[in-house]
Structure 1
């Protein structure tokens, strides 16, 4: 186990080198542990206990708020802890948290003809993604990625290793599917249910932004009841090679055969409004190509400010509510997104911490390069979200920053249940948890946990 202590050579790289957002935080762990296996994680937690300090965990480093970088903590960095075992006959896999969606599917697709609906951005690690619920590939039809987590292996806040599923330590298993960074332990292994890799076909319709209302209203009317194997997204963006802001509507169909995909995509093709500046129908596509596109839209080494909301199902005019967000982007690399969640949003969820969603997922991904643009870009995001908030029923944990804005992330019942589970498994508040949110406990408050012996 490699330990990089504060002020030691390599500390700054260990502290923030794997943080995706170039807006790096001014927070300083006492030490960073580069864990390579479960034994290292156990030893790191025990080190924190002996040193009277707290524990933070980094899987992929993709959190916009850099939740893993915490003052006076032992940061357990899982970047070098990569394991994957696949049972293709049983459609099962075991994977460590720092495995990214692209790494996982790179093996599953090419070696086994299988797939897991991980994060859209290729370098998102499984750990944060699944703990926060996992709005993965075709979430509207296939459901949340965390629903495919059958068990987790966890190092608890007191350094014990436990296996958790619906029968063993069921409360931790419940929390592991939606608690996010408030999970009261360190997941070291996810046990996953896989699917057979489908055929990918896509249709795309690019409109000038002056057609925003007509095009957006069309897709909003089309989505309810649309083929459940088709992911439907609306994006405001400045396309590569074009000067003008555009509205891009993308349908990605994932079916067993190309013929089935064509039939699924046909209703959109037949009903689309005219006026596109570019379009294609049922183009041959792939998971690899989608990762390439997502990587370009989310470039490394850039500054990010993200926020999101679930719009209430009864919102009368979704296009009007989102018009400012989609038509006034503050930077050419920024984009606004609407993601269809129906029919997933209309069915009862399994018994798990994740408990909040709606038909309409909306997110802002404001991307820029120059630190002098920080105030302008973040103020734009804050202003837009303030005006959207009255139409919102909450937000997705994975695209949230509690220091910038707080809203509802779980149902009231699940919030109380999660608080009780955290209190039970981590009474000393060893795990850092939610950045900027107070731990709700009537018996034991969060401690600062400043260690002096590290």
Structure 2
């Protein structure tokens, strides 16, 4: 275990290394603890108790806003806990919080098993799952937290607790969707794993002139999607083809099924788009592997030298109301690196015994990227101010790809889940040893968030 107090040699390197994004927040914990074992985590929590420090956990640091970095208190880095244990008979993988999605699926491959990770294999399992987790084909597998069977967690008292639906159920309820404000440090996640499916994908590129028609049609037909299908739509996107660089509207459909016929049937709906005659690219039902899609095993790959920000919302709004509201968003994009993208699938409904709740048929994301600090204000403000403007149409928010520290909101969880989280934090963590989602969401008046 390594401990860096603010001012120590190595502190600033550890602080900046914790965030993959070139956009480094101006927030400084009093101490950074880099744990290597579950025992180190226990020791770190006891240190926080002795020094009366609030704790924020950093797993692999994928959060675009680096919400794990707070002023004051302790940042507890568990990224070096990377053990994976697989029980193919029980269909359970036990993973530590530093494991990344691509590395998990690499290990599962020899068992012909699969976990619906984030779409980028570099994203860590822990934060992804406990924030809800919109991974591959949620219509088929559910969101990631629906596949969380149990956890091992270090409590605010420094005790190691096993939690599932029958034991210490408050902890597993909160870990399924409210993980960023969990009253403890998860050191092992017990995940339900699945047979590798048949995978096919279709890709389309449309001219920007028809973006409104594409988005409207996809939102309208999404309730009739097969549960084996997910669709991602991005506006605008650039092509690697120098002859036809774009910008385009991209539509990418991925089907995961028990059979080739099932996958083809799921994708067929995308070929019924009324604007199909305008498509500049149609690549239908290409065979894929999990590795093709997620880029697994890329946990050591470097992130491009860019600054990133993102904000999002769930919406159930009718396209006739939503699309006109999105025009300004598209028209005011500050550079070619920024885009608006949506994720659509047929929901499986509520996740049992969980804080999480799916909030709409479209998950709308505003992704901002820029090359120099001088662009930060315009690019980041584009994402946050447009999302704030769209809030009357919002029915929720997805955690981890948001800017809660800049744009406070509470609709990322249902009101009853937020109320229960407040009650559970008071019961299990009365000293508020562990940080809130953001300033004042659950703990009004707390400072040094």
Give, in whole Å, the separation in 1 of the partners of 2:86 and 2:395: 38
Structure 1 residues 331 and 292, CA, compared in 2 at 3 Å: closer, same or farther? farther
Aligned residue for 1:160?
Answer: 159
Q: How far 1:435 sits from its partner (Å)?
A: 2.8
Aligned residue for 1:385?
Answer: 387
Aligned residue for 1:263?
Answer: 265
236-245 or 413-422, which deviates more: 236-245
- Equivalent residues in 2 for 1:8-407, closer than 5 Å: 8-109=8-109, 111-236=110-235, 237-241=237-241, 242-271=244-273, 273-292=276-295, 299-314=303-318, 316-326=320-330, 328-344=332-348, 347-407=349-409
Q: How far 1:328 sits from its partner (Å)?
A: 4.3
| Conservation of the 8 A alpha-carbon contact between 2:152 and 2:188 | yes
Give, in whole Å, the separation in 1 of the partners of 2:261 and 2:346: 24
Structure 1 residues 191 and 64, CA, compared in 2 at 3 Å: closer, same or farther? same
| Conservation of the 8 A alpha-carbon contact between 2:219 and 2:362 | no
| Conservation of the 8 A alpha-carbon contact between 2:152 and 2:160 | yes
TM-score by length of 2: 0.92
Structure 1 residues 22 and 436, CA, compared in 2 at 3 Å: closer, same or farther? farther
| 1:322-366 deviation line (CA, Å, top 9, x unaligned) | 33334543222222111114333xx34312111241111101111
- Say which SS state the counterpart of residue 398 (structure 1) adopts: coil
Give, in whole Å, the separation in 1 of the partners of 2:133 and 2:13: 28
| Conservation of the 8 A alpha-carbon contact between 1:20 and 1:300 | no
5+ residue gaps, structure 1: 450-454
Q: How far 1:18 sits from its partner (Å)?
A: 2.7
Aligned residue for 1:452?
Answer: none
Q: How far 1:244 sits from its partner (Å)?
A: 3.1
Give the aligned CA root-mean-square deviation in angstroms: 2.2
| 1:59-97 deviation line (CA, Å, top 9, x unaligned) | 010111211112222221111111110011221110011
Q: How far 1:253 sits from its partner (Å)?
A: 0.8
Structure 1 residues 326 and 253, CA, compared in 2 at 3 Å: closer, same or farther? farther
| Conservation of the 8 A alpha-carbon contact between 1:334 and 1:365 | yes
| Conservation of the 8 A alpha-carbon contact between 2:138 and 2:347 | no
Give, in whole Å, the separation in 2 of the partners of 1:440 and 1:386: 23
| Conservation of the 8 A alpha-carbon contact between 1:20 and 1:301 | no
Q: How far 1:385 sits from its partner (Å)?
A: 1.3
TM-score by length of 1: 0.91
Query: How many residues are matched?
Result: 441
376-385 or 38-47, which deviates more: 376-385
- Say which SS state the counterpart of residue 56 (structure 1) adopts: strand
Give, in whole Å, the separation in 1 of the partners of 2:218 and 2:125: 31
Q: How far 1:255 sits from its partner (Å)?
A: 1.6
Give, in whole Å, the separation in 2 of the partners of 1:289 and 1:183: 33
| Conservation of the 8 A alpha-carbon contact between 1:21 and 1:64 | yes
Q: How far 1:5 sits from its partner (Å)?
A: 2.5
- Say which SS state the counterpart of residue 190 (structure 1) adopts: strand
Give, in whole Å, the separation in 2 of the partners of 1:448 and 1:225: 47
Q: How far 1:448 sits from its partner (Å)?
A: 5.3
| Conservation of the 8 A alpha-carbon contact between 1:184 and 1:422 | yes
Q: How far 1:398 sits from its partner (Å)?
A: 2.3
1:4 maps to 2:16: no
Structure 1 residues 448 and 193, CA, compared in 2 at 3 Å: closer, same or farther? same
| Conservation of the 8 A alpha-carbon contact between 2:223 and 2:361 | no
| Conservation of the 8 A alpha-carbon contact between 2:338 and 2:368 | yes
5+ residue gaps, structure 2: none
